[in-house]
Amino acid sequence: MPSPPHPFRIGLGHDTHRLGPGDGLLLGGVRIPHDRSAIGHSDADVLLHAITDAILGAAALGDIGEMFPDTLEANRGRNSGEMLQAAAARLAAAGWALGNLDCVIFAQRPKILPHRERIRASIAGLLGIDVEAVGLKAKTGEGVGPIGEENAISAECVALVVRRA
């Protein structure tokens, strides 16, 4: 006999962008002054991209690159907040509500902690969830590899979704 549908599902998202000389980073929809910037077809918000993929993954709805191909001119410079909200709308349409997120930013610099509360509030606002449901941590690359040498920035996110009644 088939088992009843599970009331909870989890999703995992990961993203990496190259870094180059610049004037700041967009992380979770918040602009953080810095001497490098992330390079990408869209606005290169690595954290929102990881969250978007975690949400889509939880409901097995594919990934951000399928929804917004980087081969499409229309997606150049696209606002990642809009992409996240489009993914959240698909999640809701598939019968799931977002429970919580836990995210990690991998960056040698800048320090994320001083900006953490603003970033959490921005993500919660984009998704219409409580800020308490948005965990955010940061790790350096310990000075080694593409993260440590400041050639790349990455982010990861897990999302819990709850079946709607």
49 binds, among Zn ion, ligand CDP, none (CB under 5 to 8 A by kind): Zn ion
- Would you say 125 or 148 has its CB closer to ligand CDP? 148
Q: Cis link prior to 69 (omega < 30° from 0)?
A: no
- Say if residues 34 and 25 touch (Cβ distance below 8 Å): yes
Chosen residue from 34, 36, 49, 116 binding Zn ion by CB under 5 A: 49
CA-to-CA separations, 8 to 12, 36, 58, 129, in angstroms, rounded: 14, 39, 9, 17
Chosen residue from 26, 30, 138, 152 binding ligand CDP by CB under 6 A: 138
Chosen residue from 75, 100, 140, 151 binding ligand CDP by CB under 6 A: 140
Return the DSSP state at 28. Answer: T
Q: Which residues contact ligand CDP by CB under 6 A?
A: 107, 111-113, 138-140
Q: Which residues contact Zn ion by CB under 5 A?
A: 15, 49
